[in-house]
Amino acid sequence: MNAHDKSFVEGSALTAEELAMLNRPTCEAQGLPGRAYYDPAIFELERQRIFAAGWVGIGFASDVPNVGDVVPVSVAGWELILVRAKDNSIKCYHNICRHRGMKLVKEKGNVRTIRCSYHCWTYGLEGNLLATPSIGGANEGQAPGFDPSDLSLVSVRTGQYLDVVFANLDGSAEELETYLAPVRERIESTFDFKLLKPTPPGTGRGSRNFAVNWKVVLEGGIEDYHLPFVHKSFDHSKDYSTEMCGETYSGFSSRRSLSEAQKRYSTKAADGHELPFFPKMVETGVAETVVLFVFPATIISCTPNYVSLSLQLPLGPELTHYTSKTYFIGDSATSDEYKKLREENTIYWKQVLDEDDGPWREVQKMARNREEVGIPSRFSPHWEVALHNFQKTVASKLSATK
Ligand code: FES
Ligand SMILES: [Fe+2]
C-alpha cells in the first residue's frame, strides 16, 4: 500500500478520507484509489472478504452435463473442481490432493474417478478416497493405522441459479435463494427463462482473459456512458435507468421499440430472418433490456431476444478470466435456420469486447500513476450511479473488520 496513506480505518484497505469521499453523493463522490486495481494486499483482502465470504458465480452447470464431467476452476487464487456426480448433482471440491497437495484436475474432461498424477491416490466423484496404491509397500494398497475414510476431497458449498453454479467458500453466507431473491424479483416477471436454451459450443461471447483487474472489466460493462465513444454499434439509450439493490446487485435497464432493439442487438438478418422476442415484449411493444451485475462478478444480461450469463474470475490482481454463455429463445438457440444470426451475434459481441479491451488496458496501466499522483476517479451522476454503488459495496467489504 501507499506509504503516505497513514490513517487507515482499522483492518481496512482504504483510508477514512477515501471512504468518506466515496460515500458522498454520486456527483461529488471520488472513486476507489488507483492501488485498488493492482495492490496484492488489497487483492488478498478481496480474496478473503469478497470471493471467499459471499456467493460467487464460478461456472456453468451446462459445462458439466454428464455424470463424470469435471472442470477445474480458478477464482481469486482458490483452485476448485466442478464435478457432475453419480446422482446427477453438481459437486464442488477444492482441487487439492489430500496426500501432498497436488492439483488434481488440470483440464476439462469426463472421468470415472479423480486420480492424482503424483502418487495415484484416487477419489470417487462423491469425493471419497477410493484407493491409495502401494501406500503400505509395493502393491500394498493399505497401511496399518492409515485410515482413508476421513481423507475425502474437501467440499465447497454450492448452489445454482439459471445455468450459473455459485460457490460460497467459507460456508458462512446466507442461503443462496435468500441472496438472489431481489434478482429474481426484478427479472423473472419480464424474462421467461423457461423458454431459453443454451446455444451450441462456440456461440456467444465466449471465454477470454483480460490483462486487467476484475473491477476494471466489471466497471467497463456496468455503465452505458462510454458506448458511442468506444463502440461502433451502440448509441446512448434515451430511456435508461439505474438498477440497484443494496449490496446484491448494481446494473441498468433500457427500453426501446422492437425495431430499434433489433438494430441495436443485431438480431435481424439481411435476409429478413429475425430472432424471436420474449412474449412480454411482443405483448407490450416495448423491448426491455435489464443487465444486473450480481455482486461480486456475475452478470445477468437480459436482452429482448436472448440472455447472456457472464462470470469474471480473477486470476490475479491484474488478470481476469471472462467467460460467458448465451441462451436464445426456443428453436432460435439450436436450429439451422437461426445459425447465421447466432454467428452474427458471436461476432458482434467479440467486436464489442475487443473495443473495450484497449481502454481497459489503459485504465489498468494508469492506475499506478493515478495512485502516485493521488488522482481519484469520478462518476457521471446520470450513467454511473450503479457503478458508484458497486464501488461502495467493494469498499464496505474491504473496510469491514472481520
Ligand atoms: S500428492 Fe496426490 S497422491 Fe501424492
Ligand atoms: Fe463497452
The number of beta carbons lying within 10 Å of the beta carbon of residue 351 is 13
- Residue 242, all three cell numbers: 439505474
pLDDT value, residue 4: 44
Question: Measured in angstroms, how far is the CA atom of residue 353 from the centroid of ligand 2?
Answer: 7
Question: Measured in angstroms, how far is the CA atom of residue 360 from the centroid of ligand 2?
Answer: 9
Q: Which atom, in ligand 1's list, is nearest to the CA of 101?
A: 1
Q: Which atom, in ligand 1's list, is nearest to the CA of 104?
A: 2
Q: Kindly report the CATH number that applies to the domain delimited by 175-399.
A: 3.90.380.10
CATH class as words, domain 56-158: mainly beta
pLDDT value, residue 400: 73
Confidence of residue 199 (pLDDT cuts 50, 70, 90): confident
pLDDT value, residue 21: 97
Residue identifier of the C-alpha nearest atom 1 of ligand 1: 100
User: Which whole-number Å values give the CA distances from 202 to 12, 64, 183, 259, 347, in the listed order?
Assistant: 42, 16, 28, 27, 11
pLDDT digits (tens, 9 = 90+) for 300-309: 999 999 999 9
* DSSP notation for 65-104: -STTEEEEEEETTEEEEEEE-TTS-EEEEESB-TTT--B-
Residue identifier of the C-alpha nearest atom 4 of ligand 1: 119
C-alpha to C-alpha distance for 387 and 29, rounded to whole angstroms? 12
pLDDT digits (tens, 9 = 90+) for 252-295: 999 999 988 888 887 887 777 889 999 999 999 999 999 999 99
* Cis upstream peptide for 296 (omega within 30°): yes
Which residues contact ligand 1 via a Cβ below 6 A? Answer: 97, 99-100, 102, 116, 118-121
Q: Which atom, in ligand 1's list, is nearest to the CA of 97?
A: 2
C-alpha to C-alpha distance for 120 and 155, rounded to whole angstroms? 20
C-alpha to C-alpha distance for 82 and 155, rounded to whole angstroms? 10
pLDDT digits (tens, 9 = 90+) for 57-84: 999 999 999 999 999 999 999 999 999 9
User: Which whole-number Å values give the CA distances from 115 to 66, 120, 390, in the listed order?
Assistant: 18, 6, 41
Question: Measured in angstroms, how far is the CA atom of residue 371 from the centroid of ligand 2?
Answer: 24
- CA quadruple 44, 46, 47, 53: dihedral, nearest 10: 140
Confidence of residue 1 (pLDDT cuts 50, 70, 90): very low
Question: Measured in angstroms, how far is the CA atom of residue 45 from the centroid of ligand 1?
Answer: 30
Question: Measured in angstroms, how far is the CA atom of residue 226 from the centroid of ligand 2?
Answer: 7
Query: Can you give the pTM of this predicted structure?
Result: 0.94
pLDDT digits (tens, 9 = 90+) for 147-198: 999 999 999 999 999 999 999 999 999 999 999 999 999 999 899 999 998 8
CB–CB of 249/182 below 8 Å?
Answer: yes
Q: Is 41 exposed, middle or buried (0-12, 13-18, 19+ CB in 10 A)?
A: exposed
Domain borders along the chain are: 56-158, 175-399
DSSP state of 51: I
pLDDT value, residue 233: 82
Instruction: Tell me if residue 354 falls in helix, strand or coil.
Output: helix
